[in-house]
Amino acid sequence: ELNLDNGLFITSVEGEAARAGLIEGDVILVINDNTVTSTKQFQALFTSVGPIVALLVSRKNMVIYIPLRTKSG
């Protein structure tokens, strides 16, 4: 049980996200200081950012930051 009010649960990872260190089971909580509340909102935020985003991720009782290079980067 995650006990989280917000976030995007990761079910599979590939490409740049995998290279950045995201893994299956991670929960993306924040993207560039914006709390993630839905897939649609995450996609909108992700497409409007620069070459690198900062993701705040919940992983196995830890919260970590992961920098992720975007396609524009």
pLDDT tens column, 27-72: 999 999 999 988 898 888 888 878 889 999 999 989 999 999 887 6
* pTM for the full predicted model: 0.86
Angle subtended at Cα 11 by Cα 8 and Cα 14, rounded to the nearest 5 degrees? 105
DSSP, collapsed to helix, strand or coil, labels residue 45 as helix
Angle subtended at Cα 13 by Cα 11 and Cα 17, rounded to the nearest 5 degrees? 135
Q: Are the C-beta atoms of 54 and 67 separated by less than 8 Å?
A: yes
Residue 10 has pLDDT above 90, yes or no: yes
Report how far residue 25's alpha carbon sits from residue 11's, in angstroms, rounded to the nearest whole number.
6
Candidates 36, 50, 33; CA nearest to 6 is 36
